[in-house]
Amino acid sequence: KRVFSRKRTLMKFPFDPSWTLFLDRDGVINKRIMGGYVSSPEEFHFEKGVPEAIAIFRKHFKYIVVITNQQCIAKNIVTIRNLREIHRYMQGKLLEQGSFVDAVYFASELASDPKNTRKPKPFLALEAKKDFPDIDFNKSLMVGDTDSDIQFGENLGMKTALIRTEEKTNRKADWQFDSLLDLALELKKKI
């Protein structure tokens, strides 16, 4: 009796250097403050292995784009200036390790705002495509730790990978990993 596995592996996935990697921030790149927000560079701490992971991704993806919902701005907890300082700090730390991300896009509105641009709406990806017109969403991988991250990727025709955290999720991603580094190491083996 033959048994066929339905499990999708990265080995069967045709990544090539024209692909774009979309990354969520909190819980994927940096430690999420559950019930709170990263409000200064001093509160920004990479998840284990993230600089190494992004260095690996740099060899396999044309663009690496961070997209993040940051309603802390609309709540007046963090200013846009503070958020940009946090992202400059993140980029600086990545550069120290020989890596970088191409751009960071954020949605600052409240989730309850009917005109918000937050994930899972496509606005942040469309902004990235304006800046990098050769991005092809069908040749993109969205990595996140929440249902809205996975739905965002699905809505745009991207492949999706879930980073398992304490965040409860219901959506099925194409792949699941315990960390961004685990995904990067698996990708490195397969390509």
pLDDT in tens, the chain (191 residues): 333 333 455 556 677 899 999 999 999 999 999 889 999 999 999 999 999 999 999 999 999 999 999 999 999 999 999 999 999 999 999 999 999 999 999 999 999 999 999 999 999 999 999 999 999 999 999 999 999 999 999 999 999 999 999 889 999 999 999 999 999 999 888 76
Find the catalytic residue in 26, 145, 149, 174: 26
Find the catalytic residue in 24, 145, 149, 174: 24
26 catalytically annotated: yes
Instruction: Please state, in angstroms and rounded to a whole number, the distance separating the CA atoms of residues 50 and 23.
Output: 11
182 catalytically annotated: no
Query: Which strands, in side-by-side order, build the sheet including 175-177?
Result: 103-107, 63-69, 20-23, 140-144, 159-163, 175-177
Using the Cα atoms of residue 125, residue 129, residue 90 and residue 159 in order, give the sign of their dihedral: positive
